[in-house]
Amino acid sequence: MYNRQEGIEKAKASYDLSIFYKDIDMDSSLVYAQEAKELSLSLKDYSLYSKSLKRLGVIYMFTEKPLKSQNYLERALRNAKDQKDTRIIADIQSDLGLLYQRQGSYQKSLVHLTKAYYYYYYYYLDKKPSPEKHKALNRLGILYLTTKKNDKSRKIYNEAIEVAAALGPKQEIASLINLAVLETQTGNYQASNLLYEEILKKELSKNITYQNKIKASYNNLAFNYYKMKKYQLSLEYANKCLEIPTAKLFDSQFSDTYRIVGNVHSALGNTKKAEKNLIKAVSIAEKNKFRESMIKAYQDLYRLYKKTANYKMALDYFEKYTVVKEGVNDENFSEEVVKIESSKVIEEKDVAYASLSKEKAEDKKQFKSNIERIIWISSIIFIIILGVISFFIFQNKTNLAENEKELSTIKLFALRSQMNPHFIFNTINGVQNFILKADKFEAYNYLSKFSKSIRLILDNSNTSFIRL
């Protein structure tokens, strides 16, 4: 066993070994990065933990596992922000920008690379040139180049060259290559070739990094001469490129070089050689899952078979080209989702963020439950109020009907009380008496008074009050 300080030194050594192996053996680099991550987490060295997560994200990016890469880089960013380490934040933003750029998500890439750019220029008080700053500038320049914003790309590359001048030949060569690619894209093949020749004249060491830069220069010169229709020169530089051994990480350059050779032979009418080299390019790209190289190789084979009237094969490769370009039927993507979801990727420091998300989800659920409860209670109260109002309206109508019935009864009773039977009987007897006496005048006068009295009684029965 070792004490905490010894443990931290071991974790740092593992991290440094992961960096050392990054251009030599990606598998070894991955093992050391995992070790650095586990040790730094157990020893609560969260700054080194962020760097280790970032390193794992970069490894998975270059081994074509974008979901794992994104997962580790985002975790690294959260931890770096928690530690307020602006330098590592800027580096991670730059790596996320490159990841999205490789996936073709240029808008997201621009957001992260721009953030990295401003972190490097406005958050660092010393503002000294650094390899990370140079890397971020180159990536931003490549993004602008990819999206055909050549003027912005040139401006960024010039800034990168100024930073590279203070850093050394490694960064300077990277900037020269990027500037040469810009010249190629704008059709200035001669200017591009001069930049590559300048790189090849430099006395460089034999380490893998410089060898890969030389290899890239030969490959790009082969492409330029192919576009200039100087096919023999193109083949010469392609062969020089293929003679240089490379790390697995840079196998995509072999695929691109075989593509160039295949296209040269196609232009020269050597169909068999063209087919052989393009199929080799496809094989390397598919084996290493280099998406961009696969797209280009499928497209080249489609064009070759179409040119030679082999329409069945042309259709097959056109379908492959379409599927990969549009991201359809991506089984690796689904498998990677399952792996990430089933693996334990959140560890001690990340648990706090996971808990916070869980609490937010529970709060949201509780809030929703409260809203539903309020709606239910409000609905019940509304129904009760509606019922009470309906009851009072019904009761009022019932009372009104009963009152009207009672009033009618009273009126009838009053009429009956006024229309006394004895009074009517005596009056009719009086009339009869006058008739028997043959006193017509008195009978008529008596009957007239009686009719007026009956009429008055009936008129007064329709009013509530009678004036005396």
Summarize pLDDT for 85-126 with one digit per residue, the tens: 888 888 888 889 888 888 878 888 888 888 887 777 665 544
Contact 277, 262 (CB under 8 A): yes
Whether the model clears a pTM of 0.75, i.e. scores above it, the answer is no
The Cα–Cα gap between 363 and 356 comes to 10
Q: What percent of the chain has pLDDT over 90?
A: 13
Q: Say whether domain 1-123 belongs to CATH 3.40.50.300.
A: no
Summarize pLDDT for 317-349 with one digit per residue, the tens: 888 888 887 764 444 444 444 443 444 444 444
Summarize pLDDT for 168-202 with one digit per residue, the tens: 888 888 888 888 888 888 889 999 999 889 888 87
Which residues 6+ apart lie within 8 Å of 132 measured at CB?
87, 90, 91, 94, 120
Summarize pLDDT for 412-423 with one digit per residue, the tens: 565 555 556 666
More confidently predicted of 439 and 37: 37
Interior CA angle at 152 toward 211 and 194, to 5°?
40
Give the model's pLDDT for residue 461: 60
Terminal CA-CA length for the chain: 125
Q: Is the pLDDT of residue 257 over 70?
A: yes
Mean pLDDT along residues 358-383 = 76
Q: What percent of the chain has pLDDT over 70?
A: 80
Residue with tokens 């008074």: 449
Cα 466 off chain centre by: 89
Mean pLDDT along residues 35-52 = 87
Measure the CA dihedral 68/74/76/77, to 10°.
160
Residue 2: both structure tokens together:
């070792």
Ramachandran category for residue 202: left, alpha or beta (phi over 0 → left; psi -120 to 50 → alpha): beta
Mean pLDDT along residues 140-162 = 83
